[in-house]
Amino acid sequence: MASITFREVEGSSLKYWMLFGGIGLFVLFGFLSYLYMHHHGHVVTGMDNQIVWGLPHVFAVFLIVAASGALNVASIASVFNKPMYKPLAPLSAILALALMLGGLLVLVLDLGRSDRLIVAMTHFNFKSMFTWNVFLYSGFFALVGIYLWTMLDRNVKAYSKAAGTAAFIWRLTLTTGTGSLFGFLVARELYGTSMLAPMFIIMSFAYGLAIYLMVLVAAYAWTGRPLGDAVMMRLKSLLAVFVAAVLYFVVVYHLTNLYFAKMGSVESFILRDGGIITTLFWVGQIVIGCAAPLVILLSSLGRQRSWIMIASALVILGGIAQMYVTIIGAQAYPLDMFPGMTMKSSFYDGVIHQYSPTMAELFLGLGGVAIALLATTFAVKVLRLLPANLDDATVAKLEH
Amino acid sequence: MRLGLVIDLDVCVGCHACAIACKEWNASGTIGPLSDYQPYGAEPSGVWFNRIRHYEMDEYPNNKTVNFPMSCMHCEDADCVTVCPTGASYKRAEDGIVLIDQDKCMGCNYCSWACPYGARELDRSSGTMKKCTLCVDRIYDQELPVEERQPACVLTCPAHARMFGDFDDPDSAVSRTVRERGGFPLMPELNYNPTNTYLPPRRKPVIPVDTQPKSGLKESIKQFANKLVRR
């Protein structure tokens, strides 16, 4: 098998520093938003007693789910032993770490008392799915970190497959844990199903790969390194499969709910009467996030790199919409305390809860995205993560 | 011991006195303050441990207004306690009261998702979750006369619609009342086994509201004559 040269991005051009500064600006806005929210309390956000997880959590959960999926390419290389993916693996691992960092930062900074994070690290209730997730996230950093080390250091390269397999199993467990944060809740009608765990796994595959594709193409285009179509075509077909699988899970999930008469009302809310939630479901999640990318990726348009980028961007936007519907939609629908009866009262019963995110929440969420991108931009400058050449001829040699 | 409340839905008139007394006591109690948002604004809101809901049963003329005070149910198998990552939410073994340690709560709000009764109150100023304490700082206060060692809501209820006591004692007033009146917990199917129990509203006789057919001249003369004779 031919060897491949990894090289750092030079990162001394004006373009690099402008990119760095631009992303850094969003990190700064995110930090300022956090200070503002922390100083005044969540009273300055759109969150209230009914909507307790707002837009920052939408971004946080999206990034955490995407982090797990971004490791996909590395897993294919080491666990499933596909040589073509091996040069792509280091970027996959660093992106996974960066996205997890961004997601966790937003999650932590959106806590009502983020200054008490130390409590979460010193007091554990092992019956809580949240606690399990704390360990899953920490373990993810450790395992993917070790995996990355085995890829970058020749002395420990022999352990790469073992580390990759451990990271692969861990990330599947992690996304199961993230899905189960919702799946283990019986009080909200849209949750309380084991379906959410595998659905989150397949969502992670799609979101992570879409982000990976965009970062890969941007990195190669901006550094002037050759990136052949062989890699792109393989990855875009994979993306199409993942997006189709997400659509399949969404359809089965809602069809199952519709089959149960007691779920009719909440399904009507999501699918027909939910206003912005319904719009985000049909336009954001289904059309932008699934249908349009599938049409692009499976048609002749999918052979053009620019269209693959558009499809990836649509998958990402659709993913955020899907998270919004999943997290905000479930809270907006009122609790059903008297099943079978129409509830009307002076206290929000039977009333759809309204939620208007503030700019501070939006920028805190975007700050998490920016942290992930900034960490990746910095990592490719200081570490040898990107192959110097990924043209078709080089990739072809890897497979023989 | 398993302390909790019995609320008589037949007697509750929905005056909100219990909610006010609760807010007054707890805002200056161990868990306070209970923040208010825009108290003098167009849409005032805030943290309330006890909220009174009003429901209309059936349609006119068979309708009946049911006032439904709701606070933490102090469930035996409380899901809010199960899901709390730091153990800030806990259930006291000695009396079954579910409390939140305000120093350990980091405001993840996950318990709010888990409570099917919507009893958790997010204090957006303090950043922590709060809820009914069953006036734990009152009911054991040795400085108070024995008859006043009850939750503020129970003491203040003008209709005596609220009772406080030990559900583990089969001879306690709350246990006897629940037995005699067919008390029920809210959403028992979830198996959280809530301690607070409601007494069902009694059905009242339906008041006839059919309009009488208009009588003719002959009928009017007859009624007039009857009236004279009756005198």
pLDDT in tens, A238-287: 999 999 999 999 999 999 999 999 899 999 999 999 999 999 999 999 99
Determine the pLDDT at residue B115.
95
pLDDT of B29 strictly over 90? no
In terms of CA atoms, which chain A residue is nearest residue B16? A346
Name which of B35, B104, B127 is nearest A123 (Cβ-Cβ): B104
Q: Report d(CA B141, CA B144) in Å as an integer.
A: 6
Please count the residue pairs, one from chain A and one from chain B, whose beta carbons lie less than 8 angstroms apart: 133
Residue A347 has pLDDT above 70, yes or no: no
Are B50 and B71 a contacting pair, CB within 8 Å? yes
pLDDT score recorded for residue A398: 79
Q: Which residue of B has its CA nearest to A327?
A: B113
Q: Whole-angstrom Cα distance, residue B91 to residue B74?
A: 8
How near does any CA of chain B get to the CA of A70, in Å? 26
Residue of B166, B165, B171, B3 whose CA lies nearest to B75: B3
Mean pLDDT is lowest, of A357-366, A370-379, B22-31, B70-79, for: B22-31
pLDDT tens string A179-235 = 999 999 988 989 999 999 999 999 999 999 999 999 999 999 999 999 999 999 999
Residue A178 resides in a domain: yes
Q: How confident is residue B59, by pLDDT bands cut at 50, 70 and 90?
A: confident
Q: Using one digit for the tens of pLDDT, what is the confidence trace for A120-129?
A: 899 999 999 9
Peptide linkage before B61 cis (omega within 30 of 0): yes
Question: Which amino acid is present at B161?
Answer: A
Does residue A336 lie in a domain region?
yes
This complex has an ipTM of 0.91
- Among chain A, residues having any CB pair with chain B shorter than 8 Å are 41-43, 45, 47-50, 52-53, 111-114, 116-117, 119-120, 123-125, 127-131, 134, 181, 184-188, 331, 335, 337-339, 343-347, 349
Structure tokens belonging to residue B188: 């028992």
Whether the CB-CB separation of A370 and A23 falls below 8 Å is answered with: yes
Is the confidence at residue B75, as pLDDT, over 70? yes
**pLDDT tens by residue, A31-53:** 999 999 999 999 999 998 899 99
Residue A352: helix, strand or coil by DSSP?
coil
Is the residue at A226 inside a domain? yes
Mean pLDDT of the region A108-132: 94
Asked if residue A1 is part of any domain, the answer here is no
CATH of the domain at A18: 1.20.1630.10
Average pLDDT, chain B: 91
Nearest-angstrom CA–CA distance, A65 and A143: 16
**Whole-number pLDDT of residue B25:** 93
Residue A354: is its pLDDT beyond 80? yes
Which residues lie closer than 8 Å to B22 by C-beta, 6 or more apart? B48, B49, B50, B71, B132, B151, B152, B153
The closest of A69, A71, A97 to A242, measured between CA atoms, is A69
Stated pTM of the model: 0.93
Interchain CB distance below 8 Å, B85 and A124? yes
Contact (Cβ atoms closer than 8 angstroms) between residue B139 and residue B149: yes
Note if the bond before B39 is cis, omega within 30 degrees: no
Number of compact structural domains in chain B: 1
Could you tell me which residues of chain B have a Cβ less than 8 Å from any Cβ in chain A? Answer: 35, 37, 45, 51-56, 68, 79, 82-88, 104-110, 112-118, 121-129, 186-187, 190
Which one-letter amino acid corresponds to residue B40? Y
Which of the two residues, A178 and B210, has the higher pLDDT score?
A: A178
Is the pLDDT confidence value at B100 over 70?
A: yes
A303-319 b/e (C-beta count within 10 Å ≥ 16 → b): eebebbbebbbbbbbbb
How far off is chain B from A58, nearest CA to CA, in Å?
A: 14
B4-24 per-position pLDDT tens digit: 999 999 999 999 999 999 999
pLDDT in tens, B163-200: 999 999 999 999 999 999 999 999 999 999 999 999 99
User: Where are the alpha helices (H) located in chain A, listed in sequence order?
Assistant: 14-40, 55-70, 72-78, 89-109, 117-122, 129-152, 160-183, 196-223, 229-259, 264-268, 276-279, 292-298, 305-324, 330-332, 359-382, 392-398
What's the average model confidence in pLDDT over B64-71? 90
Residue A217: which residues within 8 A CB-CB, separation 6 or more?
A: A227, A232, A305, A308, A309
Best to test chain B binding among A57, A109, A110, A116 (most B CBs inside 10 Å)? A116
**Residue B10 identity:** D
C-alpha to C-alpha distance for A80 and A89, rounded to whole angstroms = 12
Calculate what percentage of chain B has a pLDDT beyond 70: 97
Q: What is the mean pLDDT of residues B37-54?
A: 89
Average per-residue pLDDT for chain A: 93
Report chain A residues whose CB lies below 8 A from the CB of B84: 125, 128, 130
Region A88-114 average pLDDT: 96
Inform me whether the pLDDT recorded for A1 exceeds 60: no
Give me the count of residues in chain B: 231
Residue A207 lies in a domain: yes
Domain count, chain A: 1
Confidence of residue B146 (pLDDT cuts 50, 70, 90): very high
Q: Per residue, what are the HEC states of B158-225? A: CCCCEEEEECCCCCCHHHHHHHHHCCECCCHHHCCCCCCEEECCCCCCCCCCCCCCCCCHHHHHHHHH
Q: Domain range spanning residue B172?
A: 3-230
Distance (Å) of CA A233 to CA A83, A87, A303, A392, B230: 16, 16, 7, 11, 103
How remote is the C-alpha of A369 from its chain's centroid? 10
When mean pLDDT is compared across A321-330, B48-57, B138-147, the lowest value belongs to B48-57
> How buried is B140 (Cβ within 10 angstroms: 0-12 exposed, 13-18 middle, 19+ buried)?
exposed
Q: Which of B53, B84, B116 sits opposite A349 (nearest CB)?
A: B53
Which residues of A fall within a CB distance of 8 Å from B187?
337, 339
Res A379 pLDDT > 80:
yes
pLDDT at residue number A242: 98
Q: Looking at residue B231, what is its pLDDT?
A: 63
Indicate the helix (H) or strand (E) that contains B64: strand B64-70
Domain range enclosing A32: 6-398
What is the CATH classification number for the domain harbouring B175? 3.30.70.20
Helix (H, G, I), strand (E, B) or coil at B93: coil
At residue A393 the predicted structure's pLDDT band, cuts being 50, 70 and 90, is confident
